[in-house]
Chain A
Amino acid sequence: MSAIVESLSVAVVAFGLICWLTVVFLSPSTPSRQQANRLPIATFRRRLVARAWLWAPIWGALVLTFSALASSSAGLVLASADHCLSHVTNAHTHHLCLAHPYHASTTVWPWVFVLSILSILAIRVAIVGWRLRVDGRVGTSLAGLSTTMADAPDVRVIDQVEPLALTIGWRRPAIVISQGLIDSVRPETLGVVIAHERAHVALRHNRAGLWDRLMASVYPRVVAEPLLASLVLAREQAADAAAAKVAGGPLAVSQALTEVARLRMPGPQLASAHGVGCGALEVRIHSLLKPPASTSRWLILPVTVVAGLVLLGAGPLLPLVEDLLTYLAH
């Protein structure tokens, strides 16, 4: 039993490491690929693609391990004489097989490998988790100092001139709006803003964001930022779409977005004349006014990727991980 646990632990961590390296070198992190994040694609697709990249070391490791085990154990189901080629070619190879697990190693290196990688990840996640805890308490402080809006008890108002609308916190999210925003926008716009923030609360966006953020802590910043930005954009688009259903339609939401963005513009002397900003705002408004055509053709790529991973796990990566197991165990 201990041999199975040992070999599976090494395999999952090794496959996870391979997936992590794949994300670091192939995910959309270069500037041109970041621009691709701004393309008017469906919210669901944007979210799925970014989250698939972000969580690849977890789900990728599980898929690869499952396919490796399935291939080496297939002989059990098919009742072949000996399902593990390694038995024939090299009896001393430590292979991933539930039926014939190799003997538990006499060295500590398999567990040193597993625990050192897991420790590094745990430390990175703990550091970010601690920072998020402080950030969360700062947000809660802001919400706690605010007053309740007269005709919307779930909305908190802060006495600030700067136009702001936020949803703060993940356990009990609070909607916080500044008095400056209330005073500066039309009642219809305020209705859209509140509907948008309520959508964030209803769809538990901050909770999802927290998990994504913790996962992103295992990557270098240059890799994590575009993925997180893409997920933030997807959440905003989802909240825009939900607000459009209850607060006057996509055109009203687009109008509210430009109205609030205009309020947040710096003075004329500070404004960029060349329009380098507004990337996310532009995508959100275009998505509202011209929703991307709904098609399922894009699913071909992720399905191909998963199928490819299954084949990789059962194919070239399996001997690689088995060699690693053998190397660590002797």
Chain B
Amino acid sequence: MSQLRLKNLALGELERDVLALLWEQGPMNPGAVHDQLHRGRKVSVNTIASALKRLCDKGLLARMKVSHAYVYRPRVTRSDLERQLIGAVADQFGDSAERGGGGGLLAAFVDLAEQQGEDTLRRLEALVAERLAATADAESKGENDTSRGPSR
């Protein structure tokens, strides 16, 4: 699948719902999509058709004419789209100052852009292991002291 442009990855709520429906139920025309989605929200068939057209323009859907109506089908899988979105999110970290990145709209448990150094990571793991061992030792000593009871 080709790389989508960043602005094409920005999806509105209706666009996400339409995509999710097509992933779940396969190719559909605007009327069928409207039948499925109009219960949860007040949207017209035209609004649904516009959302489908936008998704088509963004490269996320393909369409073919069947009789008088277009039938739309996803051009990307959910997993592919998620992967591209993650790539775009990771870019925000890698290009922080110019694009607003890590200091902007998101925070990651471990910095997505930071290149981990094997030696440093090993050293940190050893440090943590050493502390864990020391804590376990201290705890076992404490338990032994308690089981012996108070000294007289």
Q: Interface residues, chain A, CB within 8 Å of chain B?
A: 128, 131-132, 134-142, 144-146, 158-160, 162, 164-170, 193, 196-197, 200, 205-206, 209-210, 212-213, 216, 221, 224-225, 228-229, 231-232, 235-236, 239, 251, 254-255, 257-258, 260-262, 264-266, 268, 271-282, 285, 289
Contact = CB atoms under 8 A, between A and B. Distances in A.
Contacts of B131: 251, 254, 289
A167 B19 CA distance: 23
Contacts of A137: 10-12
A282 B120 contact: yes
A285 B96 contact: no
B69 interface: no
Contact of B13 (A144, A209, A210, A282): A144
Contact of B6 (A132, A138, A167, A266): A138
Contacts of A167: 106-108
Interface of B: 6-7, 9-13, 16, 19-20, 78-79, 81-83, 85-86, 88-89, 92, 96-112, 114-121, 123-125, 127-128, 131-132, 135
A138 B11 CA distance: 7
Contact of A144 (B11, B96, B121, B123): B11
Contacts of A135: 6, 88, 92, 99-100, 104-105
Given A134-B7, A142-B82, A278-B124, A228 B118 contact: no
A169 B104 CA distance: 9
Given A134-B6, A145-B82, 14 more contacts: A128-B100, A131-B99, A141-B10, A146-B82, A158-B82, A162-B86, A164-B108, A168-B89, A196-B109, A236-B111, A257-B110, A260-B110, A275-B118, A281-B116
Contact of A131 (B100, B111, B118): B100
A142 B108 contact: no
A235 B119 contact: no
B135 to A, nearest CB: 6
